[in-house]
Chain A
Amino acid sequence: MYDVTSGASFQDPQMDSPLPPTAESELPTTAPLGLWADTWRRLRRNKLALVGLGIIIVFMVIGTTQVIAHFLDIQLTPYDPNEVDYALSPEGLGSPPSLDHPFGTDYLGRDVLSRTIVAARVSMLVGVIAVSIALVIGLSLGPISGYYGGATDAIIMRTADVFFAFPFILFVLLIMTVLGPGYANVFIAIGVLSWATYARLNRGSVLSVKTMEFVEAARAQGASDLRIIFRHVLPNTMAPVYVAIAMGVGGAIATEAALGFLGIGMQPPNASWGSMIANYLTYVPAGSWWMELFPSVALVLTVFGFIAFGNGLRDATDPKLKE
């Protein structure tokens, strides 16, 4: 039995020898630049991730302004997204993209560009709210599960397994029946169902961080378990969680769109990308492709942006990945 006193430091690979590591390794490593500077440097080299980041920023700007606009009840789009104008929809098939209406108009003569922009609000909200709920639950249960181990761990992780196994749509419908049909409930449903991912991810890191000496040091100073878990352990387990958040926001947006496509959540005349995609589908065979295209592209591009950035972030924070 070895005296387990040598814990690997956070970013370094595990060391196996029973006796303490001797001073810094001989092969020259560069001085650490700072906690995130190194990650940023590696990220900068990943073109795809940077594109993703750009998309995310554009999306966040548009989404945030739309949320504020909705809250203040002002219009920040070229046209009123709900303004019906039959003149712009000959034969009820809308009008194709033009200089006045770059994305064209839909079958009610509403400007597709404005509708697409406004719908970003919904996606923004679902990304933020759903992931926040999932994080609050997941980052409480995950560390507790990992830190205490034993029965607590077993119970929490098996519960997480249930959530993983649950058919998603079914669960959302369940929640909607309980909470009511409001679209906010969709966000809550998605959030509540996603906590398991963050909890499990986090728990894995917690298992290794809790054995590190600085945790023992905190205990030696009389720190309570709560303090240790949330002040010492949790902050050191966040790196993979940030990646999961990026992916998770992308996933939440896609999920909301899928639900919207099925008619759950956002009801007309309020626009969400998913419901727009559903509504405009029937007009495509008739030749009105633009109504379907632009919200679809917006959705795909946004989700792709989050996922590409998330992938890049994961590669950039992986200490073992050779540059």
Chain B
Amino acid sequence: MGERLLEVTSLSTHFYTHAGVVKAVNGVSFSLDRNETIGIVGESGSGKTVAALSILRLVPDPPGKIVEGSVVLKGRDLLALSEDEMREVRGNDIAMIFQDPMTSLNPVFKVGDQIAEAVVLHQGKGKREAAQMAVELLARVGISDAKRRANEYPFEFSGGMRQRAMIAMAISCNPEILIADEPTTALDVTIQAQIMDVIREMQGVYNSGVIMITHDLGIVAQMADRVMVMYGGRTMEYGTVDEVYYNPHQPYTWGLLGSLPRLDEVEKQRLTPIEGQPPNLLLLPPGCPFSGRCPYERPVCRETFPDLESVGPDHGVHCWVPLDERLAIRASLPYFAASVA
């Protein structure tokens, strides 16, 4: 890939609520290189969004608090910066695209002005120049008739266009890292395809790293080079997409892959869902958060979270089930019996 842009080590973010402590992110580590896309995939309660917010230190405090870990951006630990220094990082070095563009764009300001504001703030350009840049950026993300559009308000834009505007705002300062948090969940699938294309294109132009946060394993397969699977605040498995999709080692990953209906399935196969309910973050066991739902768990799983086990070059997993047993179980799963070639 390229130079190492981001190194997150043992990040933990807890929420202190009146009902108890919620360990939203618990000892999460990953890295991101230039020109690389890493997908962080998980369901609700997995902690993926909180992890992203923690990197940018946007977690509301109180009740949230980053209790542990380091987030090193090209040699600087972001968690050690002052708020002023952090403000310079946001939007400039790391930019974020949110899920719902309507509430992330200020409805009472024109779109062009909002984009220009970021440019003025971070790059110190004059207002006229910034406005010009805003129009160029809108055109670059594929909005036709950009000059007219820059003078419009968010409500005049469709959902797909608003998301493009968000991307324009995000890339306006040539960020090294782009964090996209479920950027297309609220969009139709054909628009989603357009947006993914734009993100990919912008990554190419600016040579940035992209963190794609999503629950959609299809998007990860499409966009990401590496993937990290999260559950209940923990990293369960990570690796290259080929490794994780074709050689998964975590029972949760197996469960996820097996419960997806596939558009390209030739013969209809009954889905193999993961039984049980999503985790209650207030009542997480001290050990593996998947215990209680895992069909292969053993007593130790509930008590202690397994250490990282390397199962391949750049492929790590956290699981107490021994390797040979894991491989045997996996071979017997209908999903793999059918598709392993």
Contacts and interface: CB of A to CB of B under 8 A. Distances in A.
Interface string A23-54: 11111101101000000010000000000000
B17 interface: yes
A31 B280 contact: yes
Nearest to A16: B102
B100 to A, nearest CB: 6
Nearest to A29: B17
Interface in B72-125: 100, 102-103
A177 interface: no
A263 to B, nearest CB: 53
Given A16-B103, A23-B44, A30 B186 contact: no
B50 A25 contact: no
Contact of B100 (A16, A23, A26, A31): A16
Contact of A22 (B103, B182, B282): B182
Contacts of B49: 26-27
B153 to A, nearest CB: 15
Contacts of A41: 18
A23 B282 contact: no
Interface string B255-280: 00000000000000000000000101
A26 B17 contact: no
A319 interface: no
A33 B17 CA distance: 13
A28 B17 contact: yes
Contacts of B22: 28, 30
Given A16-B102, A19-B185, A28 B18 contact: no
A221 interface: no
A27 B50 contact: yes
Contacts of A28: 15, 17, 22, 24, 45, 50, 281-282
Contacts of A22: 44, 182, 185, 215
Contact of B19 (A18, A19, A25, A30): A30
A224 interface: no
Interface in B40-61: 43-50, 60
Interface in B178-217: 182, 185-188, 215
A26 B18 CA distance: 18
Interface in A261-308: none
B292 interface: no
A30 B15 CA distance: 10
Nearest to A19: B186
Contacts of A25: 44
Interface in B9-65: 15, 17-20, 22, 24, 43-50, 60
Given A26-B46, A30-B19, 10 more contacts: A16-B102, A17-B159, A19-B186, A22-B182, A24-B278, A25-B44, A27-B24, A27-B49, A30-B18, A30-B22
13 contacts: A16-B103, A22-B44, A22-B182, A22-B185, A25-B44, A26-B47, A27-B60, A28-B22, A30-B17, A30-B19, A30-B22, A31-B280, A31-B282
Interface of B: 15, 17-20, 22, 24, 43-50, 60, 100, 102-103, 159, 182, 185-188, 215, 278, 280-282
Interface of A: 16-19, 22-28, 30-31, 33, 41
